[in-house]
Chain A
Amino acid sequence: MTIIKWRPGRSGSRFDPFSEMQRLQREMHRIYNTLTNTWEASRPAGVYPHLNITEDDNNYYVRAELPGVDPQDIEITAQENDLIISGQRKIPVEGENVSYHRREREAGSFSRRITSLPTHIDSSKVAAVCKNGLLTITLPKAPAVKARHIDVKPV
């Protein structure tokens, strides 16, 4: 008789359907993440407004389409790796004797929070511009996490 050492978590000679399943699940996650290549789920969140987030060496950029929103009605709060964009979209009443043929634009309040920026930001230097209904927030990365370029010197 041969004695086989018991190794938990690894399927030795014996077929373990559960660990096999877990392995498969991990593999699927890995493939999914490679394909989508974003740090959050690539499916848009069901919250207004939709956001685009980009980065370069020094900053993160958060952009949102906010047509018809007065820049004074937008509030932005930023700290560490957390950002909140909230505000009001007002559509004024257009006279009394008008009849609407189409009404596709919507008024109301909005609030969106991002909690998972990959690194901390320098919240004292966050800047926001709203031009033609397009909001751009520039979030400088905290100095400690900025990429540093190192030159290799020839000897």
Chain B
Amino acid sequence: MSDKEIQVRNKRELESEAERTKPGPVFVPAVDIFESEAAITLLADMPGVSSENISIDLHENQLTLSGEVEPLISGKEGYLLQEFETGTFHRQFTLSDRIDQKAITATVKDGVLRLVLPKAEKAKPRKIEVKAG
């Protein structure tokens, strides 16, 4: 599997959104979301975003991720080739499970956000045995 070559993809730009106060492009980070019995885990690619510049907001069932990227180049540099742009990352999800808000953990490593959303007790599946009557 590791021998596979990565296919290049253009960054997905956010198409419609309420008007923003900050100028500049907004991109949709690529994510992996997986679920175990205990938690939902979300991994988001946000290159150039440091841990201080990420904001995660969970309101009711709406999860909002955003990350600011500092300008890439100083004033004296001129472009010879530009294949990607940088800007804000922004993505929203609606969660279907009850989340234990106090136990949420978030870490950033090498530009990837890892967000663990533990399920609240009520949402964990219970095994119901069917008794023979």
Contacts and interface: CB of A to CB of B under 8 A. Distances in A.
Q: Are A and B genuine complex partners? A: yes
Interface of A: 38-40, 42, 44-57, 60-61, 63, 65-71, 88-91, 94-95, 97-111, 118, 130, 132-134
A51 B76 contact: no
Contacts of B49: 132
A101 B47 contact: no
B31 A102 contact: yes
A90 B5 CA distance: 12
A73 to B, nearest CB: 10
A95 B9 CA distance: 28
Interface string B1-14: 11111111010000
B111 A109 contact: no
Interface in B17-52: 30-37, 41, 43, 45-50
A60 B105 CA distance: 39
Given A63-B72, A67-B112, A132-B111, A44 B8 contact: yes
Contact of B6 (A38, A42, A61, A109): A109
Query: Per DSSP, are chain B's interface residues mostly helix, strand or loop, or mixed?
Result: loop
A118 B80 contact: yes
Contacts of A47: 8
A109 B48 contact: no
Nearest to B82: A52
A48 B78 CA distance: 23
A89 B48 contact: no
Q: Output the residue of A67, A89, A106, A110 with the most chain B CB within 10 A.
A: A67
Given A67-B46, A67-B47, A98-B36, A130 B110 contact: yes
B83 A48 contact: no
A133 B47 contact: yes
27 contacts: A40-B80, A40-B81, A44-B10, A45-B83, A46-B8, A50-B83, A52-B81, A53-B80, A54-B77, A60-B80, A61-B73, A65-B84, A67-B112, A68-B43, A90-B2, A91-B32, A95-B36, A102-B31, A105-B30, A108-B1, A110-B5, A110-B6, A132-B47, A132-B48, A132-B108, A132-B110, A132-B111
